[in-house]
Amino acid sequence: MNRVCLVIARFHPLTRACEALLRAKIDAGYAVTVCLIGADAPRSHRYPFTVDEQMEMLGAIGVRGIAIKEALSRQERKRQFSEISPEADILLFDPFYANVLKDDWRSGNVEVVSQGVLKDMDEARHTWLASGGCSLVSPEVQQLMAAADGDGTRARLWEEEQYVLNYRRSWEAAPYPPVLVTADVLIQCENKVLLIQRGGLPGRGLWALPGGFVDEGETLFDAALRELREETGLSLGYDYARSCMVQKKTFDDPNRSSRGRTVTHAVHFDLTGQTLDTLEAGDDAAALQWVDIEAALKMRSVMFEDHFLMLEYFLKKAQEGVALGC
């Protein structure tokens, strides 16, 4: 029986160099299964192609792909792949998953592709966003990439790419790489949660938790209350907010934001039983909406970066009866 090789990747896009590595594993006698990270994730300048489009790229070279969801914890990431094939060898195209699996995977060999391959993938992505063309992919993949550019998709993502690159350049003079600090808020009332639609880049049009950057001279908790007030009009007094806080957590995955290393401190408030005034989107929020929890848990494809994972984490912990100190 052939040994299994799990290929863990995000192909944005599938370059010729990627194809060569996959074919080499097949030629070596492996049964290759590609695990595409980001099932149901929305397009972004970092990840411009849907999982279905990536599967079509793989299908063009006769390789099987399966979609897997983003996961927050090391344990959950390991569990995902153990359930697929517990004794497989692993080929990693994702450097952030590599940091986890190189240490945690004991049942097979773990190989990480070279920086040159990753650089080619990033160059191919950037070139396609800028011009619609790319010489680093096969003609078949080039056709699939062209088909993905519907309704101005590429132009929209190119605008986002330029915004993020300029944002990162603004920090180039800093003596050390910046670590950005934000505060986000999940507001729950009865069986609904409060979401805002982003009005600015990156992620314009996607839904998110209210939140933003921590200002100089304010605590994390104060920043959360200020951002909530500015983006939704919902003003919570300090003592009242403390009494309504059911959970808090720091989300610090190094890859969670395209803007750079960004650590967010998120707070979950439950206002069930309270009468709330009509709210109105403000600051950089384009819209806001009370969403049924059941519906919110199906919104991964329209939520910004890891905000769905934060929402899902808090709601699941609340359902389990987990409450952190207020």
| pLDDT averages per 10-residue partition of the chain, 326 residues | 90 98 97 96 98 97 94 88 94 83 84 96 98 96 95 96 98 96 98 97 98 98 98 97 97 95 98 89 92 98 98 94 54
What's the CA gap between 32 and 64, in Å, rounded? 7
**What is the pLDDT at residue 106?**
83
Residue ranges covered by each domain of the chain? 3-154, 180-324
**∠27-30-32 over CA atoms, to 5°?**
105
- Tokens in use for 175? 């003596």
What's the CA gap between 211 and 248, in Å, rounded? 14
Around 145, how many Cα atoms within 13 Å sit in the side-chain half-sphere? Answer: 27
CATH number of 180-324: 3.90.79.10
Backbone angles phi, psi at 143, to 5 degrees: -65, -40
**What is the pLDDT at residue 326?**
38
Count of CB atoms within 10 A of residue 48's CB?
23
Q: How far, in Å, are 220, 240, 303 from residue 325 at the CA level?
A: 15, 15, 28
DSSP secondary structure of 24-68: HHHHTT-EEEEEEE-TTPPP-SSS-S-HHHHHHHHHTTT--EEEE
Count of CB atoms within 10 A of residue 62's CB?
9
Q: Which fold has domain 3-154?
A: Rossmann fold (3.40.50)
What's the CA gap between 160 and 45, in Å, rounded? 6
| Bridge partners for 266 per DSSP | 184, 249
Whether pTM > 0.85 for this model: the answer is: yes
